[in-house]
Amino acid sequence: MTAKKTKEVAVSKSKPPKTTKKLKKADKEIVRAIIKIEPRYPLKTQDTQEQTLASFTEGALRTYGSYVVEQRAVPDFRDGLKPVHRAVLWSLSGLGLRSDKPFKKSARTVGDAIGKYHPHGDSAAYDAMVTITNTVPPFVDGQGGFGSPSTPASAQRYTEARMSKFADTFLLDPDYLKVVPYEQNFSNDDQLPLYLPALLPALFFITNIPAPAYGVKAGNPAFSMKSISDVVISMLKGKEYSAKKLCDTLQIYHPFGCIDVSKDEDILEMMTTGKGKVTYAPMIETDIPKRTIYLRTHVPTTLASDESINKTLAKIADIDGVKMAYNSPGKKDKMAGPFGALSTVVCPKNLDEDRFDEICHKIDNILRSSVTYRLGVTIRRKDAPNEFKYLDYVSYFKAWINYRIKLEERLIAYKLDYNETALHLNEVYLFAISNLQELLKILPKILSAEDPDAKLAKHFKIPVEDAKIILDRKIRQLSKMDGDTLRDKIKNFKAEIKQLKADAKEPGLRAARDTEARVKAYLKKPDITQPGLPILMA
């Protein structure tokens, strides 16, 4: 028996297949549908456009730059910290390195910061730690060589760190940490705060020459803690501040000791617009009989690093009448400033006193340095993109005070819930021990019932939830409870609830009282390692 030969039919993309049999109407419709099917991923020419390499690069850089600005380079307006600073402080907290605990190697904290929270390079993370160790007040309490503008910090394996008293008190308070939002870390196996619950605008304790991120150049001078706290406390109490009033209240300082010699109009412009110039000068001491000038602090750009110091001193040495100019830093020299800065300018002892005075003025002009700042901040969000903004100082303080009041409102709500829950529990326990004998008598029948909670509730005519609380508590623990102690607790909880409900009506006043008490306590016993303490209290 021979197999029948079948004729292969080629299916055309444009015409239906030829068949010897007449297709039914339904079959014809199927074939037509197959023919009309479009490619799975059609090329839509209207969605494409030609683009030069330059324009593509510009767009890609803008996207990357936005990420850098909003995610890494510019601090959040609430806690004043960049993500790397926040990661360092949160790592100190995670390691239990509070201000009253022993120091641990800085490398340990840096390792946790980059391994858990911020995948940065270890040297960059350590540099960030050094920065917030050298603020006034310090955010990190450092032990060892944490450097100065002219002296690099020792390696992280040599230095030790823990949280400063300031950070302990104003940035990482355990109660406030319960009411800030948290986000997942980069590996989704841990959490860290979206921002720390700052109780003072810590942004204004960190300063540097504004370094440009892509498309923005943001920075601000530092101010004394006392002057910042005065503004915050007053505004929390409802007082308004104008740019002029901020100028009159805030005291600018530089963390390495140079003096603010800015013109009033420059500072007013900065407060009004957010952008302005601050002029710094070093502490200068002259010995007229010896015809010697001592430069005792650092200054941005002119006395800011070994390189700039050497260039500036070379310029000074070229002044007619100057014999020599040299740098000899070190805290052991009695002529050195509080940070160990010391540059000496020597003139001939027989130099005319008027000429010596002219040289002093000329040196002062050479050393003065102006830094242009522009206040820029990031608003970090958990469920939406972060946002970068330039602000003037009045707008900044208003926004920060609004944040601070909302933080206080969340804490009040949390504490109210906690105290009301605790009050209810203690009232139930007091009821239970007041009826302990009867409870022990009926307990066997209660426990053998199909629904013990409902049975006990029915017997004592109490809510089922209260019956469950009693039955969940061990009888041995109930029997050891003292009625008078419980009554005292109940009284305290009621008083706390009453106060919290009153505070809820005026959270700003509660925040002002709290801030005032914390500042007073801190300034009485500040971080003792801080050489800029007199300025801190100005």
- Cα separation, 535 vs 521, in Å, equals 17
Peptide bond into 444 cis (omega under 30): no
| Number of Cβ atoms within 10 Å of the Cβ of 288 | 11
Ordered alpha helix ranges (H), 95-205: 106-112, 122-133, 165-170, 174-177
Question: Which of the residues 64, 67, 158, 418 is marked catalytic?
Answer: 158
What ranges make up the beta strands (E) of 249-367?
Answer: 252-253, 259-260, 275-281, 284-287, 292-295, 324-327, 343-346
Q: SS3 of 222, please?
A: strand
Q: Which amino acid is at 7?
A: K
Continuous segment of H or E residues that includes residue 378: strand 376-379
- Cα separation, 469 vs 477, in Å, equals 13
Residue 158 is a catalytic residue: yes
CB 258 within 8 A of CB 280: yes
**3-state SS track over 384-439:** CCCEEEECCHHHHHHHHHHHHHHHHHHHHHHHHHHHHHHHHHHHHHHHHHHCHHHH
DSSP state at residue 47:
G
Q: Which residues are catalytic?
A: 158
